[in-house]
Amino acid sequence: NMSLKGRDLLTLHDFTVEEVNLLLEEGARIKALQKAGIPHPYLQGKTLAMIFQKSSTRTRVSFEVAMFQLGGHALFLSPRDIQMGRGESVADTARALSRFVDGIMIRTFDQNEVEELATYATIPVINGLTDLTHPCQILADLMTVKEHKGTLSGLKLAYIGDGNNIAHSLMYGCAKVGMKVAIASPDGYKPNAKVVELAKQDALLTGTSIEVVSDPIEAVKNADVIVTDVWASMGQEEEQKIREKAFAAYQVNEELCSHAKPDFIFLHCLPAHRGEEVTAEIIDGSHSVVWDEAENRLHAQKAVLAMLV
Ligand code: CP
Ligand code: NVA
């Protein structure tokens, strides 16, 4: 019987194949309980501190609702509210919060800040997005793919666009579940080489492969799942214009998708920019599962919280 109690969720790379599968199964089980109206108060009396250094709709609401539905409580802490916003160190914040709450979720810029928080906290730390990774999103994505395709292992996923946090976590997550990944990004925006290397090592364990190319059509060929994300992520707003030029040939539209399998599904972590990284025809069309994907943030995170905290 595998236990994840007390563990941090910093990246999906840190979890074994079995552990990732366990989290996905638990997410599906908790979702079924919720749909059947069966209470599941696994975290009665527990509190989660949620530190947000960036904006959020889905992550903030789904974590807060998740804690409520699990019988616990969540605290929303923006930089305007807490002393970390005035320069109190990450380490001291971790030490103080560890005396009050049972877990910390943090959304911030630098992955090292999340690692540091985890080093000094005596309670689980959950990564709610950094510039480098977004593990909770990809657990929800994998849940969604499994619901729609019935399986994960052996499927091909194509990610088109910026080699960012979503691209990185997709590589980590898909490698664990035996999904083939093709990333198509322009030069200068390719994914982090270290992340690609680690994901490739994991892919060997599950007999799959990770490839990074420049040609979006090559990536999309025979894909079961097509994913994209914004061209300018949070913190890159001033690069919007340069990025629009760099990514002009990387739009997910009907022409590009015609190279995928006829029954492909489309995922996007949201928020989306129609007319930029994806056309309205695709994101609002019959292949899109983005609202199931958004909903699954709640169920996947309830599994993470119930198992780690
Ligand atoms: N996908 C996602 O993390 O959305 P938010 O930025 O709204 O939390
Ligand atoms: N890549 C995006 C994801 C938002 C959920 C960003 O970091 O802004």
Residue indicated by tokens 């709640």? 298
Pocket test for ligand 2, best of 110, 132, 133, 166 (most atoms within 8 A of CB): 166
Is residue 220 assigned to a domain? yes
Q: What are the tens digits of pLDDT across the range 118-177?
A: 999 999 999 999 999 999 999 999 999 999 999 999 999 999 999 999 999 999 999 999
Is residue 56 assigned to a domain? yes
* Separation of alpha carbons 250 and 275, rounded Å: 11
What confidence category does residue 218 fall into, taking pLDDT thresholds of 50, 70 and 90? very high
pLDDT at 129: 98
Residues 100, 187: one domain? no
Whether 106 and 126 have beta carbons less than 8 Å apart is answered as: yes
**Does residue 179 carry a pLDDT above 90?**
yes
CB atoms within 10 A of CB 204: 11
Residues 271, 175: one domain? yes
For 137: left if phi > 0, alpha if psi spans -120 to 50, otherwise beta; the answer is alpha
- Among 141, 205, 208, which Cα is nearest to 169's? 141
Is residue 30 assigned to a domain? yes
Structure ipTM: 0.99
Whether 278 and 220 have beta carbons less than 8 Å apart is answered as: no
List, in sequence order, the alpha helices (H) in the chain: 17-35, 58-69, 90-98, 111-120, 135-149, 165-177, 193-205, 216-220, 240-246, 254-257, 280-283, 290-308
Cα–ligand 1 centroid distance for 270 (angstroms): 6
Residues 284, 301: one domain? no
Residues 73, 196: one domain? no
Domain residues for the domain of 29 are 12-133+297-308
**Does residue 91 carry a pLDDT above 80?**
yes
pLDDT at 231: 98
Is residue 3 assigned to a domain? no
- Among 258, 199, 204, 202, which Cα is nearest to 226's? 258
Count the domains in the chain.
Answer: 2
Is residue 180 assigned to a domain? yes
Answer whether 56 contacts ligand 2 (Cβ < 6 A). no
What confidence category does residue 5 fall into, taking pLDDT thresholds of 50, 70 and 90? very high
pLDDT at 2: 86
Q: What is the mean pLDDT of residues 96-113?
A: 98
Is residue 2 assigned to a domain? no
Q: What are the tens digits of pLDDT across the range 26-54?
A: 999 999 999 999 999 999 999 999 999 99
Is residue 5 assigned to a domain? no
Residues in the annotated binding site: 56-59, 83, 107, 134-137, 165, 229, 233-234, 269-270, 297
**Does residue 1 carry a pLDDT above 80?**
no
CATH number at residue 49: 3.40.50.1370
Residues 62, 107: one domain? yes
Atom of ligand 2 nearest to the CA of 234: 8
pLDDT at 153: 98
* Separation of alpha carbons 64 and 73, rounded Å: 7
* Mean pLDDT value across the chain: 98
**Does residue 217 carry a pLDDT above 90?**
yes
Q: Which DSSP letter does residue 40 get?
A: -
Is residue 286 assigned to a domain? yes
Q: What are the tens digits of pLDDT across the range 283-292?
A: 999 999 999 9
Q: What are the tens digits of pLDDT across the range 18-28?
A: 999 999 999 99
**Does residue 66 carry a pLDDT above 90?**
yes
pLDDT at 246: 98
Residues 129, 141: one domain? no
Residues in the annotated binding site for L-ornithine: 165, 229, 233-234
* Separation of alpha carbons 62 and 17, rounded Å: 25
Residues 146, 176: one domain? yes
Answer whether 230 contacts ligand 2 (Cβ < 6 A). yes
What confidence category does residue 17 fall into, taking pLDDT thresholds of 50, 70 and 90? very high
pLDDT at 20: 98
Atom of ligand 2 nearest to the CA of 56: 5
Answer whether 51 contacts ligand 1 (Cβ < 6 A). no
Residues 275, 162: one domain? yes
Residue of the CA atom closest to atom 7 of ligand 2: 233
